[in-house]
Structure 1
C-alpha cells in the first residue's frame, strides 16, 4: 500500500453432457466463442505449476482461477474496534464469511500481522490473534474458500490509530532494513519455520499441509534498494527456511514494489510473482466522481517479455477502486487481470459488518454487502468475469459502454450486469431483460429489473430450489448519510441501515401471480400470498413458491451449496432520528423550474415531507414533496420563485403532527413565527449567460483532487496580494542522494482535477451559450507548460495550452481552441508502471454538454531555476462563460 497501513487461485471446468463436437456446433450456432464457466474449486485438491508456468489443480489439471478479498478481523485495528464495540470476534467472523459466500467469493488472502503473534526472535506466540486466525481459516474452509497467506507484514498494528503494544520482530526491524540485518533475517527464518509448522487448533492441520491454503507469499510489499545481492540472499534464505519444513506448494514474491531490484526477484527461486492495483490512487479524502473506466482499461506488466516472468504464475494480492462507490470498477479490473494472465485476485479489504457503518478500518476502502450493496454485487459479477474470461484473452480498448462475453458495464447507466441463460445479476435498476427467463436459476441485484420490482436500496438474492420454488433473501435498506471516504470515526455513521417493509413484485416463469411466501430465517414467521405478483416484505429469507407447490422439504437447515437455506445476516436498524440528506446545487437557472431531491432516512410511509422555498426577502411557498420511495423525495420549485437572486429552502418532515426541519433537525417549521434556527440551504438563481464555476479555490477545496504526480510536485493553498485564496501547484526539487526516488520524466509535476458534471446539469438549457473557459491564475518563474483538459462522460479529452505571466490575470480560452487529445489518469494509478495517459475517440469539436471533468496540468519545467523558490502555478478560479 502507498500509505501508513497494511496493504494486502476456479477449479474444474463446468461438466458438459454434450460431446465436444456438439459443444462446438452449439457455439457456432451462437455465432460467438464463449469462455467456459468454472465450477467451485475442488474440496481437497492441492495445486501445482505446469511446465508452462500455469497454476493447476492436482487431479483435474484444470487452471486455477480464484477471486475474492482480504479481510483482517483477527488483527490490528479491526480486532481492537470489535472489542471496543463489544462484538465477539468469532460471531463477527461467522457473519462476514457467510456474506462472502453469498458474494461468490472463493479466494481469501491476508498479510498476517507478525508483529502481534511473534516475539523479537521470531518465536510464534499462542495468543488470541493466532487463535482467531485459526478460527477464520476453519470458517473459510467450511465455505469452500481457498487461502493464500502472507506470513510477514512488516506493519505496525495501529492504523488509523497509534501503534499499540507490539511484541514482534517487526517492531524493532523496519521494512527497509529487515532484509539485510542479520538478526532480523534470523528472526524471520525462525518465524516462517514455526508458522508453517503451526497446527490449527480447529482443523487439526498443519499450515503447511492444509489443502485449502494453496500458496504462500513470503512477505508483504518489501522495500528494497541496491545492491541486489542483499535481496538475492534474503529471498534465498526465506525460501530455504520454508522448504526445510517440508512445504512443497508454491511460494510467491512481490514484484511490484521495488522495481530497482526486479532482476534479483525475477532470478530468485520463488515459484511465482504478486502484484497489486490501485487505479485511482489512495486516500483522496472524498468520493471520486466522473468516468473511472479508463483507469482500468488494461494492466500492462513491464516484464511480460522476460522468460523468467512468463514461465511462472502471477497473483494479484490486493486491488481496490479506492474512494469510488460506483459499482463499475471491479468487473473491468477482473477482465484486465485475466487479460494480463493473473490466476488469483483479492480485493483489499472487505469491511467487517460490525465496523462498516462507520468505515473506520480503512478510510479509502469501502466494501460490505449490507452497507455498500451495489458495489458488493459488482464484486459478485467481477468474480464471474474472472472465472469466465480466459487467461491472456485480449479485448479492444474501452468504449463508451463496455459489453463483453456475458457482461455489460455502463458508466452512463451506472450499472454492471451479468446475463446468462442461468444467471442474471445487476448492480442497479436496469432495462435489460434476462436472456432466457425459463432457464434462470440465480438472480442477484439492487433496484429493479424485469424479474424483480423493488423500491428498497438493499441487495437481494433469488436461488431456484425446484421448478416454481425459490429461496429469496433480501437485505435491509442502506442509506448513505455522509461521505464514507472523508475523515471517519466510530462515533459517526456514514451509512444508515433501515428495516423497511417494501413492496416487491416477482415475475418469474412458473411462479404465477398468487405465489406463497414463507419466512425461513430465525424469528421470521411470515406466511403470505401475493396479489397480482406483489407482496410486502421485511428483510429476511423466504421460500417463495407457486400456488399449490409443496415446500415442506425446504427447511432452514436444508443446504444450498455452501450455505443453509435459513441463514441470514444483517445489521440491526441504525438507532438515529429522522435524517434528511441533501446538497444544494451550485447554481440554478432563472426562469426554469428546478427539481430538488433529498434522501430521507427513518421517516415512515405515513409521514409528510414538505419543501419550504423562499426567494430571499421575497415570497415563500410550501410545496409537498413526492415520496419516490420510502427513502427519497422530490419537489419542483415553480418559476415564479426563480427570478435572478437567491433561493433559500428547508425540508420539513411531519410525523404525528410534529414538524422537524432540516438542515439541522430542529423542532418546528421555518414558517412558524418563532422558528429561530438560521440554518438553511441556498442556491444562487442566475440569468442566462451567467458564468458557471468549474473550480473556485475559496470554496471547492474538499471537492477536488490536487497534488503532485509520482513525486514530481505537491499542492497547497496560498493567498495573493488581494487576499484571495488560490490553489498552488508546485514542482518538487530535484532528488538528492543515491536512493532518492526519481520522478518519472514523462509525468507532469502537479495537477488539479475537478468534477463539474452536476453543475453543468443545472444549466442544461443554457449550455449552448457558453463560448470560453476563463481562468484566473499566474505562473511562477521557470514553471513548465500549463494545460487545460475537459473530459466528457465517454472519457474523450479535449486539450488546450494556456499562456500565463507571473501576475495574477484572467485568461480567456475559446472553446473552439480545445482539440481532441489525451487525459492524464489522475490521481496517478499505482503501481507506477501503469499507463499515465488515456485517449478515447470522440468528435473533433468539444461536445460541451457532455463534459464533466476539468483537469489543469502543470508540466515539469525542463530547466528549473536554482534557489529555494520552486516553479509553481497559482489558480484562483476556472469558469465557463
Structure 2
C-alpha cells in the first residue's frame, strides 16, 4: 500500500511541472534552464471560443484537425508563441463563476496539448470581456458572468469579483483531459493575463488595486506560479497603479491603422511606427512587458508589422502576439476578425514579414536606438523598403524576403534557411505563394516547401461568410535555383521537393493539398472562363476618358466618391469631429461636411486643436510624374462664419505642403497658386489605437525644400485652431465638393 502511495505521489509531482521561466530582479524574464533572456513571438489563436469557433462550422471544418494544421504552420514559420484568449466569462461559466465543461473547454484543452507538443509557449487570457457572439449577435447560448453584468462591474462590483475569482480558481484547477495536468501546472503556459482590456479607473486607485491584488491572490492560492500580467495600454494613466500592484508586469497593444476603416489602407505605413514611448514609462521600471495584441490592420504587405516589432523589441517586450491568426480553412473568407488578416498561405507577404519579426526578437536587442523613417530602413541584418514593398532578413545563416529582393546574400556558402515570396539572387520564381528552403545536414541538398499562388478576389477587410476574398491556386510555375553546387530549373507546383544538383524531386503533397486545387475559373468570383490565367479585363468604355478640355485637370478629392475612402480624426479625448456626406442646396451636388463645436486648446485632449479628413490620391497622380501642377482648385464654403481652412498634400516620405485658404458662406471656386504653398504638419490618419502615435507625422515637421509632386499620396482638409483668433474658435465648419489640380 505504501508503495502505491509513493507511485501516486511521484506521478502527481511529474504532472506538476517546474515553471519554464522566471523574472529576475530587473524585471527581465529568463528561461529557468539556462538563464537566457526569453524572446517569444506568435499570434492570438481563438478557435476554441467565440466567432472563430462558429467560423469553423461555417466551412464544415473539423476543429481538432484545424488546430493541428494551424499550429503546424506556426512551427513552419518559426513562431514559438500563442496567446490563448478564452471566452470563459461568456461561454464557460454560470452567473456565480462555476466552470461549465462543454466543447469550448474541450477545445481549450486540445489547443494546449497541441501547442505543448510543438514547443509553443502560451499567454492565457481567461476573461475576455467582449461579447462572444460578435459579429453575428444572433446566438443566445451565452451562460457566463458577462451575460448578467457590465464591463465596469468586473472591477468594481463585489459579487461579480467573487464570481471571477471562483471562475479563475476552477479553471486553473481544471485537469486537461488530454495532458492529464491541471491548467495551473501546464508548463508551456508561461503567463496569465488577469483580464483582457478591462475598464480602467485611474482616478480610483484603491478599487483597481483591490481588484488586481484580489485576482492575484486567488490565482496564487491554487498553487499557480505563472507570471501574472495586467493591461496598461487601455489607459496609460493606470501604469503607476499596475506597477504598485502584485502583478509581474504590464500588457500592451498597438493598431497603427486603427480598427474601423473596413478596407485596405493605401499609402506608406512606415511613417507613424517609429516610436512607442509609453513602453519607456519609468513607472513600469522593474516590471516585465508583453504585447498581447498588435497588427498592421487593413494591410497585407507586412512592412508595418516588421517595423512595429522592431519598436516592441527596443521597448523591452519579451512576448509578442499578433492579432489574430486566421485558420487555414476559414482564411479564404477572412472569417475570423474583419480588419485583421494573417495566414501563412493566404497572406504570404505578411507571413514572411512576421517570420522576420520573430527573428528580430532573437537578433535585435532592447534599447537599440531607432531613428525616424527613412533613416531607420536598414538596421543590423534587416532592411525595410516601402518603394520595394520588401522586408528582408539577410544574415549569415538565413535569407527571408517578403517580396522580390536583389540584395546578395552575406555568405551564400553558409546559408541554411531561405523563405520568401517572389525572386531573389538564389531563387527565380514567378508565383506569389510563400516558399521555404532548408539545407540538409550533409549540405548537398535542400528541402523545398512550396505553397500555392493566392488570387485576390475582393478587399479582405469587409468579409462575409457568403463569399471568398482569396483563392489558393496550385498552378505550375518555373523555378530556377542557384545555390552552391546547385543550378537547376523545373516547372513545379505546390508541394514538397528535394532540390540538389540533379534537379527537383517531388516527395509529398501538402496535407491540405485539396484546398490548393488547380484554378479552373469561377465565373461567380469574377473570373473569365475563357482565360483561366487572368482576370477579366475592365471594358474600355467603363473607364472615364479625359477630353481635350479636361486633360490638364486631375480630381484628387470628389464627394461623388462617397465616404468609403475617407479617413477623419477620432472623437476620443480630442475636439469633436463630425464628418458626413451631404447634398448642397445651392447646386444639389454631393459634398463633404466637416464640423467641430470647439477648437479651443484643452489640456485633457490627447490631440491637437484640429479636425481633419483625408483621402488617398496617389493612384490618381501616377501618370503625372515629371509634371508640377500650377493651381489647386477647391470648391468649398464655410459654415457658421468660418472664414478659413487648410488644404495639405503629403508625399510618401511624410513631407507635407499646403495652404490656408479663405471661405465665404456661399459655395465658390477657390484657386491657390502652387508656387505659394508652404509647409504644414500633416495629421496621422487613420488614428491608431490605443493612442501611441503622435497626432502629426514627425516627418511633416521642420520640412524644407519644395513639394515632391511625383510622390504625393494624401490630400487633407483641416479646421485647425491656430487659424482663428482667440474667442472665435467655436462652431467651425466647412463644406467641400471637390479638389482639383490643374497642370
**TM-score when normalising by structure 1:** 0.76
Report the Cα distance in structure 1 between the residues aligned to 2:176 and 2:726, rounded to whole angstroms.
61
Offset, 1:379: 0.8
Partner of 1:805: 664
Partner of 1:286: 263
Indicate yes or no: 2:705 matched with 1:705: no
Partner of 1:432: 407
Offset, 1:447: 0.9
Partner of 2:552: 690
| Alpha-carbon spacing, 1:286–1:85, altered in 2? closer, same or farther (3 Å) | same
1:216-615 correspondence runs (5 A): 216-225=192-201, 226-301=203-278, 304-306=281-283, 309-399=284-374, 402-465=377-440, 466-486=442-462, 488-511=463-486, 513=487, 533-547=488-502, 571-573=515-517, 577-578=521-522
Report the Cα distance in structure 2 between the residues aligned to 1:270 and 1:783, rounded to whole angstroms.
52
Which of 124, 127, 141 does residue 152 from structure 1 map onto? Answer: 127
Report the Cα distance in structure 2 between the residues aligned to 1:358 and 1:878, rounded to whole angstroms.
36
Deviations 1:721-766 (A, max 9, x none): 111111112225799xxxxx9962642443222111121112336x
Partner of 1:781: 640
8 Å CA contact 2:489–2:503 kept in 1: the answer is: no
Indicate yes or no: 2:592 matched with 1:727: yes
Indicate yes or no: 2:21 matched with 1:47: yes
Report the Cα distance in structure 2 between the residues aligned to 1:419 and 1:302, rounded to whole angstroms.
28
Offset, 1:260: 4.7
Partner of 1:617: none
Which of 84, 91, 105 does residue 110 from structure 1 map onto? Answer: 84
| Alpha-carbon spacing, 1:401–1:256, altered in 2? closer, same or farther (3 Å) | closer
| Alpha-carbon spacing, 1:503–1:732, altered in 2? closer, same or farther (3 Å) | farther
Indicate yes or no: 2:63 matched with 1:89: yes
Offset, 1:222: 0.5
Deviations 1:67-103 (A, max 9, x none): 1100111111111121132111011111111111111
Report the Cα distance in structure 2 between the residues aligned to 1:218 and 1:826, rounded to whole angstroms.
32
| Alpha-carbon spacing, 1:708–1:547, altered in 2? closer, same or farther (3 Å) | closer
| Alpha-carbon spacing, 1:839–1:258, altered in 2? closer, same or farther (3 Å) | closer
Report the Cα distance in structure 2 between the residues aligned to 1:816 and 1:569, rounded to whole angstroms.
59
Partner of 2:7: none
8 Å CA contact 2:569–2:687 kept in 1: the answer is: no
792-801 or 184-193, which moves further after superposition? 792-801
Report the Cα distance in structure 2 between the residues aligned to 1:757 and 1:241, rounded to whole angstroms.
55
| Alpha-carbon spacing, 1:833–1:455, altered in 2? closer, same or farther (3 Å) | closer
| Alpha-carbon spacing, 1:542–1:748, altered in 2? closer, same or farther (3 Å) | farther
Partner of 2:580: 716
Partner of 2:12: none
Q: Which has the higher helix share?
A: 2
Report the Cα distance in structure 2 between the residues aligned to 1:390 and 1:54, rounded to whole angstroms.
13
Offset, 1:458: 0.8
Report the Cα distance in structure 2 between the residues aligned to 1:495 and 1:216, rounded to whole angstroms.
35
Offset, 1:579: 5.8
8 Å CA contact 1:400–1:794 kept in 2: the answer is: no
Deviations 1:638-695 (A, max 9, x none): xxxxxxxxxxxx83xxxxxxxxxx66xxxxxxxxxxxxxxx95222234486211111
| Alpha-carbon spacing, 1:241–1:77, altered in 2? closer, same or farther (3 Å) | same
1:57-72 correspondence runs (5 A): 57-72=31-46
Report the Cα distance in structure 2 between the residues aligned to 1:84 and 1:689, rounded to whole angstroms.
50
Indicate yes or no: 2:682 matched with 1:823: yes
Indicate yes or no: 2:726 matched with 1:771: no
Offset, 1:404: 0.6
Partner of 1:641: none
Report the Cα distance in structure 2 between the residues aligned to 1:109 and 1:325, rounded to whole angstroms.
21
Partner of 2:190: 214
Deviations 1:524-567 (A, max 9, x none): xxxxxxxxx21111211112222399x9xx987xxxxxxxx976
Partner of 2:719: 858
Report the Cα distance in structure 2 between the residues aligned to 1:282 and 1:349, rounded to whole angstroms.
13
Unmatched runs of 5 consecutive residues or more in structure 2: 1-16
| Alpha-carbon spacing, 1:93–1:131, altered in 2? closer, same or farther (3 Å) | same
Deviations 1:310-353 (A, max 9, x none): 11111110001111122201111111111112111100011111
Which of 727, 732, 737 does residue 876 from structure 1 map onto? Answer: 737
Report the Cα distance in structure 1 between the residues aligned to 2:503 and 2:205, rounded to whole angstroms.
73
| Alpha-carbon spacing, 1:155–1:105, altered in 2? closer, same or farther (3 Å) | same
Partner of 1:39: none
Offset, 1:429: 1.3
8 Å CA contact 2:632–2:741 kept in 1: the answer is: yes
Report the 3-state secondary structure (helix = DSSP H, G, I; strand = E; otherwise coil) of the residue aligned with 2:406.
Answer: coil
Report the Cα distance in structure 1 between the residues aligned to 2:411 and 2:712, rounded to whole angstroms.
38
8 Å CA contact 2:288–2:317 kept in 1: the answer is: yes
8 Å CA contact 1:820–1:844 kept in 2: the answer is: no
Report the 3-state secondary structure (helix = DSSP H, G, I; strand = E; otherwise coil) of the residue aligned with 1:794.
Answer: coil
Deviations 1:135-172 (A, max 9, x none): 11111112211100111111211111115220110111
Aligned length: 713
Which of 113, 119, 134 does residue 94 from structure 2 map onto? Answer: 119
The structure whose RCO (Cα within 8 Å, separation 6+) is larger is 2
1:176-187 correspondence runs (5 A): 176-187=152-163
| Alpha-carbon spacing, 1:476–1:802, altered in 2? closer, same or farther (3 Å) | same
Deviations 1:552-595 (A, max 9, x none): xx987xxxxxxxx97666734488735699xxxxxxxxxxxxxx
Report the 3-state secondary structure (helix = DSSP H, G, I; strand = E; otherwise coil) of the residue aligned with 1:366.
Answer: coil
Which of 637, 645, 649 does residue 790 from structure 1 map onto? Answer: 649
8 Å CA contact 2:280–2:315 kept in 1: the answer is: no
8 Å CA contact 1:461–1:474 kept in 2: the answer is: yes
8 Å CA contact 2:249–2:288 kept in 1: the answer is: yes
Report the Cα distance in structure 1 between the residues aligned to 2:561 and 2:637, rounded to whole angstroms.
19
Report the 3-state secondary structure (helix = DSSP H, G, I; strand = E; otherwise coil) of the residue aligned with 2:174.
Answer: coil
8 Å CA contact 1:500–1:538 kept in 2: the answer is: yes
Report the Cα distance in structure 2 between the residues aligned to 1:694 and 1:548, rounded to whole angstroms.
52
Report the Cα distance in structure 2 between the residues aligned to 1:216 and 1:85, rounded to whole angstroms.
32
| Alpha-carbon spacing, 1:245–1:717, altered in 2? closer, same or farther (3 Å) | same
Report the Cα distance in structure 2 between the residues aligned to 1:498 and 1:358, rounded to whole angstroms.
15
Partner of 1:32: none
Unmatched runs of 5 consecutive residues or more in structure 1: 1-42, 514-532, 557-564, 582-599, 610-629, 633-649, 652-661, 664-678, 736-740
**TM-score when normalising by structure 2:** 0.90
Q: Structure 1 residue runs of 4+, over 4 Å off?
A: 565-570, 578-581, 600-603, 732-735, 782-785, 860-866
Partner of 1:681: 542
Report the Cα distance in structure 2 between the residues aligned to 1:210 and 1:87, rounded to whole angstroms.
27
8 Å CA contact 1:412–1:793 kept in 2: the answer is: no
Deviations 1:254-293 (A, max 9, x none): 0111345444323211110011001111120211111110
Offset, 1:364: 0.6
Offset, 1:473: 0.8
Which of 192, 197, 203 does residue 179 from structure 2 map onto? Answer: 203
8 Å CA contact 1:829–1:836 kept in 2: the answer is: no
Report the Cα distance in structure 2 between the residues aligned to 1:570 and 1:337, rounded to whole angstroms.
38
